[in-house]
Amino acid sequence: MDAGGGASSSDARKVKKRSFDQMVFVNRTVTMEDIQCYGFDMDYTLAVYKSPDYESLGFEMIRDRMVSVGYPRELLSYTYDPSFPTRGLVIDTTSGNLLKVDSNGNILVCSHGFRFLKGRDVHDYYPNKFIQRDDTDRFHVLNTLFNLSETYFYSCLVDFFTRCNRYTNLPKGFQHGDLFMSYRSMFQDVRDTMDFIHDTGILKERTIKNMEKYITRDPNLPVLLSRIKAVAKVFLATNSDYSYTEAIMNYLLENKPTLGGEKKSWRSFFDLIVVDTKKPLFFAEGTVLRQVDTDTGKLRMGTYTGDLHAGTVYSGGSSDVICDLLDVRGKDILYVGDHIFGDILKSKKRQGWRTFLVVPELTKELQVWDQKKSLFEELKRLDVYLAKLYKHLDSGSQECPDIRTIQTRMKVLTYRMDMSYGQMGSLLRSGARQTLFASQLLRYADLYSSACINLLHYPFNYLFMAPPVLMPHESAAQHAADLALSELACTNNMVMGRN
């Protein structure tokens, strides 16, 4: 739900109506007047990478690296298809399947390579259409936007080896002579390759060489940070190293000086800057806090134990150190990030920070929802109809309603809705059922929006008010009360009409 409250009626008349893609949505009430400190991640939060160009770059680097270390050259024919992957998918490293599940592990969508499995095929792999999500040795959740490239390449691998007649398909991988390629080893190779292109800096080098192609430069970002800094403390906490952070933030925040004015350093927008944070470890015990020499990018020896100094950049540390240096605690802080696990879940569970999740996919989700909401409305009507069929049955009832036609129609509607978003469907739902990603968003993100820049559309004393949520028994009681009021109103109208 979009926020409510916060501004006076006279101020509200002056504010233009926000479009859907400018809105901030609320899971738990946040009084912005109480926020004393704002924290920001960099990648995919302040630095918005252009999709699908950036995912395509990552895919090509993974693909080329995998071929260079011995994978078949035929893989070079694959190109990135943005319509296939979405965040929040689960890779089954035993069977090679890509799964979309709900919060309990119930399977919503299942694919093997690019072949989508239905009915009996899914049952053969998962007899209960269910997975044990806590079996993290077998099931790996791919929650970040950086994961999209590797998600798609893993599907390419499974697709290639499944169709290549040189390899024999086995339950846990592929055989070629005395060589066995397991789904697990393939997944580990993709993970290692993704780590390689990040750790060696080759992806960052390509990004810096062509920032206009890969990064959105929003002229309102300096405006937002300046306005926040006028009312609260601001810090940057990123897993990126200093040299990359310097290049990206320079590009985003340092404009040419106006006539007679001075050029403003990007570091001046923040009270505290911490690089190499190693989140999510940052939200637990953390690492050694060191000062960064901003002239050379090198770290100074020893653990930093002094006070906070303007313009100083630090490396490592922990969320506790952030609180100490800025003299803020828990709910004083609103932390803005894109990583549901590394940024939002851990900062919420371990520190009690208020959280703002950036969900760039929300722009498309809202567009499709607006265009296809009639399908969802029909799904809801069918749900109500099914409920009515069973409403007056009890343990003595012998008849069993035939609902096969209704169930078939509901499956058709769900499929049509899913395909409107992409091959794997919506990030947040499958028909009327919410995904694992959606359940985590609802549980751990106090606020969420398609971009952090949308904070610019709200005053900093705003009251983001969460809607009241009724439990099923409360909804039933409320529905009964509403019916009684409706019947009373009808009776009164009839009496008045007679008079």
> Which residues participate in catalysis according to the annotation?
41, 43
**Cα–Cα distance, 162 to 154 (Å, whole number):** 12
Beta 48-49 vs 272-275: how paired, if at all? unpaired
CB-based contacts of 300, cutoff 8 Å, min separation 6: 290, 291, 292, 293
Q: How distant, in Å, are the alpha carbons of 218, 358, 430, 431 from that of 414?
A: 37, 26, 6, 4
Between CA 356 and CA 39 the distance in angstroms is: 10
Dihedral angle of Cα 122, 125, 126, 129, to the nearest 10 degrees: -10
Q: For residues 418-436, b (16+ Cβ closer than 10 Å) or e, as one string?
A: bebbbbbbbbbbbbeebbb
Residues 124, 134: Cα–Cα separation, whole Å: 21
Q: Which two tokens stand for residue 481?
A: 């009360």
Q: Which amino acid is at 364?
A: K
Burial label, 392 (beta-carbon count in 10 A; 0-12, 13-18, 19+): exposed
Q: How far apart are CA 314 and CA 300, in angstroms?
A: 10
CA distance 431 to 415: 8
In the numeric block, the tokens 């936007």 are attached to: 145
3-state SS class at 129 = coil
Cβ 158 vs Cβ 96: under 8 Å: yes
Look up residue 29 and give its DSSP letter.
-
Torsions phi, psi for 494 (to 5 deg) = -65, -40
Q: Residue 99, Cβ neighbours under 10 Å: how many?
A: 24
> φ, ψ for residue 89 (rounded to 5)?
-80, 160
Burial readout 233-242 (b: 16 or more C-beta within 10 A, e: otherwise): bbbbbbbbeb
**CA pair distance 198, 57, nearest whole angstrom:** 12
Report the greatest alpha carbon distance in the chain: 94
- Residue 417 identity: M
